[in-house]
Amino acid sequence: MRLTINELQALKNQNIPIPMITAYDYTTARIVEASGIPIILVGDSLGQVVLGYKTTVPVTIEQIIHHTTAVVRGTKKAHIVADMPFMSFQSDLKSAVANAGQILKRSGAQSVKIEGGSHMAKTIKTLVEIGIPVMGHIGLTPQSYNQLSGYKVQGKSLKEASQLIADAISVQEAGAYGVVLELIPSEIAKIITGKLDIPTIGIGSGEYCDGQVQVINDVLGMDSSFQPKHSKRYTDLSSIIGESIKSYGEEVRNGKFPTEIESFSLPKDVYDNLINNIQD
């Protein structure tokens, strides 16, 4: 049985911190769930860390569905959240409903995530009313990269901070079951978390959120040349994987792999008969 949005709310009510992380494929999802993480986000961050795009903007619905389906196959208990990519929900309500429905129906995810605050409240409300659970996302909204002129901390002025608080309240009132707070000062995140009844999930927003979400590639150190300030590298897989592959390549070149251990053999009688037949 997968974690439900009601159980997620219960974690908030009991002041139990909520860990959340991204995954984009079957094998990684299995490892994440086995590690006890209750919520997995198939984020449009896959555009950057999996597909090599500069931003999340080029990610398509088909790509989200493709990767989410793999994550769903690899899990049984985790709540799977699928990102709604850029321009899959912004243009009109009809498109938002159709696209969110397709994502859930075809991928097997349990909810979708939508970027945007007060201006997205009507969209969130419409989706929730027809039975599609929605996680909100305010602060830095990566799909607005071009409008925001890059990835910057949001809410540093009084006007911006007040708007973030209003956005959070608006998202909750629209029916979202939770909201991601990305790259906002921890003081604002604390105020928002205190005002909201629904869980807040922070990324680069300090310690006062009800939960935290991170991009798995950052946590595992998959890119040796990139380490966001808001993330902590728990291991250095880039070096570990690189050294392992280097060793494999050297053993192949030196004739040390494969050995009899990694090979398969015919039964002796079959081999002898085969040789006799060839010689005949």
pLDDT digits (tens, 9 = 90+) for 154-173: 999 999 999 999 999 999 99
Match 């002796």 to its residue by tokens: 268
Q: How far is CA 233 from the centre of its chain?
A: 17
**Range with the lowest mean pLDDT among 75-89, 93-107, 204-218, 266-280?**
266-280
Region 4-10 average pLDDT: 98
Indicate whether 221 pLDDT > 90.
yes
Where residue 145 falls among pLDDT bands split at 50, 70, 90?
low
182 is catalytic: yes
- Among the options 33, 62, 182, 260, which is catalytic? 182
Mean pLDDT of the chain, nearest integer:
95
Using alpha carbons, select from 239, 241, 234 the residue that is nearest to residue 32: 234
Query: What Rg, from alpha-carbon coordinates, does the chain have?
Result: 23
Confidence band for 27, pLDDT divided at 50, 70 and 90: very high
pTM for the model stands at 0.94
3-state secondary structure of 12: helix
Give yes or no for a contact between 195 and 210, defined as CB atoms under 8 angstroms apart: no
- Residue 225's pLDDT is 87
Burial pattern 228-262, b for ≥16 Cβ within 10 A else e, equals eebbebeeebbeeeeeeeeeeeeeeeeeeeeeeee
Q: How confident is the model over 128-133, as a mean pLDDT?
A: 98
First to last CA, the chain: 63
Domains, in order of start, for the chain: 5-235 (3.20.20.60), 240-279 (no CATH)
When pLDDT is cut at 50, 70 and 90, the band that residue 191 belongs to is very high
DSSP 144: G
